[in-house]
Structure 1
Amino acid sequence: MTRFRIKLTLTILGLISLVLLLMGMYFAKVLENSYLQSLNELLSRESKLIAQAVQFPDVFSDRKTLEQRILQVAPTDEVRLTLIDTKGNVLYDNSTYAPEMENHHDRPEFLAALKGETGISRRYSETLGHDMMYVAVPIIQDTQIVGAVRSAMSMKDITDTIHNMWYSLLTGLLVTLVVGSIVVSRISFSIIRPIEEITRVARNITQRQYESRVRIKAKDEIGQLAGAINFMASSLEQQMYEISENQQRLSGVLTNMTSGVIFISEQRRIMLVNPAVEKLLGTAGHEIVGKLHIEAGKSFGLSKYIDRCLDNSEKFREEVHIYYPQERVLDVNFAPYINFKGEARGVVVVLHDITEIRRLEKMRSDFVANVSHELRTPITSIKGFTETLLEGAMQDEETCRNFLQIISDESERLYRMIRDILDLSKIEQKRLPLQMNQVHLQELITSAVAIMNDQAQRKQLSIALPNQTPEILLMTDRDCLQQIVLNLLSNAVAYTPEGGAITIHTEQNAQRVLIQVSDTGIGIPEKDIPRIFERFYRVDKARSRDSGGTGLGLAIVKHLVENLHGQISVQSREGQGTTFTVTLPFL
């Protein structure tokens, strides 16, 4: 902006100088012409006056009389007077001795006078040594030109005057330039400063400093421009704030969405993903953004539907299976992205992970099938033996008693199954209220062992109780904890061969309490371990049914532990035994 100020200053000063020079040249020329015209008129009158005075023959022919007459008419020597005959000989000159003067026959003003005209000439005088103006008029006697009178005056005064005028003009020009440069500099500064201020604010706006404002209070056009810039900055600041807020909201929504969101451009490249997609695809967002969707997604089915949406610009919903990084079932919504011109410029893909829903649906289906199967067995037995009795078996007392005992056992088994199903339903729906009390863990375990002692003795099983020191006091629901221990002990007794051993171990630290139930039973195959907490799942179905189990015990244990905010895990090797570990928070 400094260069513009210099250019503006030099331009204005140049214009001022040019105008002053042109005006000086014009006035100098006018002054010179005015002086020359006045001098010309003065010399013409002087010459004509002398010509009239000496035109008489008796005067013109006598040199002495001629000189006297001229002195009478023009006694001063301000004007140089020269009388010349027709041959160019000087008859009289009031500034130089006439006989010594050269012939003037070739002087232009003399030649013009011989023609009867007034001759005017301006030239350098060798005699006087400076410019002179000559005016010659003819001397006429009886209509005949007998000579010429020439008046001359020095132009030194006129030249000096013009030179003085140019000197004054140049001095005035210099003073004008100095004063003008100061004034123009101030004026240019007053013009440039607002522009510089506006430029500064505009540059700050381009650098996203929207709080910048132009500090100018003028009411002229510059002030109006400054006001427009300030309004624009304020508007941009408000708009950028709203855009930033919308971006933050959108980012917050996308970041916290459990559903995955992918935006694919019309070039089939991934432009945006949220954290949920990173979890689903098992790849960091920065590694897949910019890649082709078929390369990043690693799912032919998903890529096929994306291409279909891009090609047809249609909105649809599909269920897609992906197998990397793990098998998942996704409910995917595909929708074209339409810009403000109504053109399809990409695809928005929303992925919902429904793997757990499908798993639960399968579990529900399996549960219904298992319940139907488990209920059908005792009901079939009861129905069969009842029909047999009604058909006449009641007459045989021993057979009748045996059948009735079987009916009673099956009814009891059916009752336990329904009771366990209802208990499990209550536990899952958290309809079982917790009564938090201080529980002596060793006493609770001893009580549970006492309940299972008869069954263990029938199979000659030994049960090792935990060490009584230090005593563990736990704030929990006593009934829930007792049911957990009883179910684990019941499983250990049921699946441990005769002569086996069961060990109960407890441990405590500042944050948790650990309860372990170990046995030397048949163990669990590795492939079945992930499913043992499912309802009605049995590793050895025949033996489980013979043991009187309902297949719901471990499912109940798992949900009870979760209700107590704990965790349960299992370690087992087939043929070597099983260890269940329950971890509860120490409250």
Structure 2
Amino acid sequence: MPTTTAQLGFPRRVVSLYLLFSLGALLLLASGGVIAVQSLLRSRATADALSQVGRLTSAIALDHHSTSGAEVQDLVERARLEGQLAWCAVVDVHGKFVAHTDRSLIDATMIEPIGDPLRWGANDGIAYRNETGQLIHEYRAPFMINQRPAGSLVLAFAVPSWQAVSRDLAGYAPVAILGPIGLIAFGGWWLNRTTGPLAEIAQSLSSIARLPIDDSPRGQRIAAKSLAAIGWNRVVDSLDEHRDQDSAGVASRLSELAGIGGGKTRAALESLSEGIAVTDAQGRIEFANRAIAALLRCDDSCDGELLDGQSLEELLATVAPDGASAFNVDSLQAEVVSELQVATPVGERTLRLSRAPINGDALPGHVWSVRDITQQKLTDASRDQFIDTATHELRTPLANIKAYAETLAMGDMIDVEEQKEFCNTINAEATRLARFVDDLLSISSLEVGSIGIQRTNVDVRRLLEEAAEKIRPLMKQRSMTFEVTLSEKLGEARIDKDKVSGMVVNLLGNAAKYTPEGGTVTLAAIRQGEELKIEVRDTGVGIAEEEADRVFEKFFRSANPAVRDNVGTGLGLPLAREIARLHRGDITLASKLGEGSTFTALLPVQ
């Protein structure tokens, strides 16, 4: 599996970026810390110096009285040192420097700077830049002698710049930076050691994910730099070992079958219901059991030995036109599974074919298996139909019950007759829901044999007349002609009266439901030797020939719109047939689409 250098270099790029960003952040943090400390110290010094303004002005005034200003120069120089000032001076009322920390400016006229006004307590000031570009904060405090203005005390503070900070920082750089850089370098080495193998593993997994779904994945070993890398290599080795063992095992076992003799092993494979075949590298059959010959309808004798030397893919093409194309993939080492629809004299069948490579050098080729999954497909379809029908049959009455109940609860202006109508509708829907659940439980119980029949001697004519009377109101409601033709010699039969009565009512109700108004439904019965023959004929919509075999399936509903328009669960006919079979009889159907249907139940009388 190819792995590029750029992909493996991913952790190193991460480490490089990590180092650069960490170093930059460290420098910014160190610079910011120095600036913050120096600014704090200078702010503290400024506050201390300005708090001493009153003391300084008093000392200047006292010096004028005692020494006529002889010690003023000493006072301003001491104030500059104690307050960490840029300079300090005393200006008389005419604007001349009486004293200045820069002695060359004594007796010079003070030039008023231009800048932004400042204020610290009661002291006014101005912020400006001097001729060197340095930011100066200058404050002035006037003082008086003999109750008369005598001048001002000037205090100037230099605000630190980046250049000054850099110079101050240079002295601490070796200690403040080299130590953290060492820690960062160690972290980068550890990160590279940890993420390097993980990146290679991720790249290998990504390459596996991009393979076709039928290709067998193969991992690639990586350098054992960590526990994760060692674990990955063990997984890769284990997969390769199992793959080789499986291929060698299949080749070893099937090579005996493809050669002369095979003993009990060959006989065992011949007895399997699943088709098994072995082909060489060119796709020619070296071994095939009887089952694969039968499933592919290759020969009437269904002898797998007759297939030796034939091309299996050509054989698939004769059975299903698209059969061989499903296995024409780029990689012959890929495991391929496909489903084929095959037409047979008894109907369409579904076959599942799979092909697996034999990776041994001594016997290259493929192992094929064929399985008939028609019943599984039908089961899946029946399950889906059951879910759809059951959901519909449960949801519809529940929705109606909920709607009418909400209307009754919220409607204050509903009269008594409407309330009765709503209650009748709710009762009818609840009855429909209960009937559906009862039918479902009944047919399930009958199928698994958990419900038996209670045979008693029953007057057949009376039983059928009672069943007819139960259904007669429905016939009258639909303006249908209901004919009952019963033989005089029906006699008695040993049957379960309730269950047979329910079977007849189900057949009559089904006939009435799918017969248009004005149609005819006939109930007829005759005794034929030891059998009782009961027929229910109608002139209804009829059943299509292709659907006739499915009307006794649970939840089956015809695609005919005339049938779909009638509400039904699809359980009546299956339940009727189960009752007949429980009596060791059966129900058959004869029908023509658009002309009507005839259901015939044959029951033994003993």
Structure 1 length as normaliser, TM-score? 0.49
Larger radius of gyration: 1
Higher helix share: 1
